[in-house]
């Protein structure tokens, strides 16, 4: 399996945080980052970013978060897909 490596900018976008937050998370040991050399660029493995996203969330709650879709929940489907908000679908 080939690993996917991301730059600081890409990691920040993936986690939806700022670059400053990425550096802070590395400094605090909450996120694993790799340097290309002593003064080189930072690189992040996608699997490490995924672990950081899940950190602190119990496994059963993570499954619930993933299952929260219109397909899985008919109530959400009705809220998201009704005639009253048809105009928003075209935006």
Domains within the chain, CATH numbers bracketed: 1-56 (1.10.1660.10), 58-91 (no CATH)
What residues contact 16, with CB distance under 8 A and at least 6 apart? Answer: none
**pLDDT tens digits for the chain (91 residues)?**
677 899 999 999 998 889 999 998 888 888 999 988 888 899 999 999 988 888 765 555 545 544 445 555 566 566 556 666 555 555 4
Q: Distance (Å, rounded) from C-alpha 61 to C-alpha 64? A: 5
Give me the phi and psi of 13, to 5 degrees please. -65, -40
**What's this model's pTM, rounded to 2 decimal places?**
0.58
């Amino acid at each position: 399996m080939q690993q996917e490596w991301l730059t600081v900018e890409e990691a920040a976008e993936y986690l939806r945080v700022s670059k400053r937050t990425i550096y802070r998370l590395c400094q605090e040991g909450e996120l694993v980052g790799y340097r290309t050399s002593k003064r080189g660029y930072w690189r992040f493995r996608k699997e490490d970013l995924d672990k950081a996203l899940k950190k602190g969330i119990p496994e059963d709650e993570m499954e619930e978060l993933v299952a929260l879709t219109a397909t899985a929940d008919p109530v959400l489907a009705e809220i998201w897909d009704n005639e009253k908000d048809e105009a928003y679908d075209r935006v």
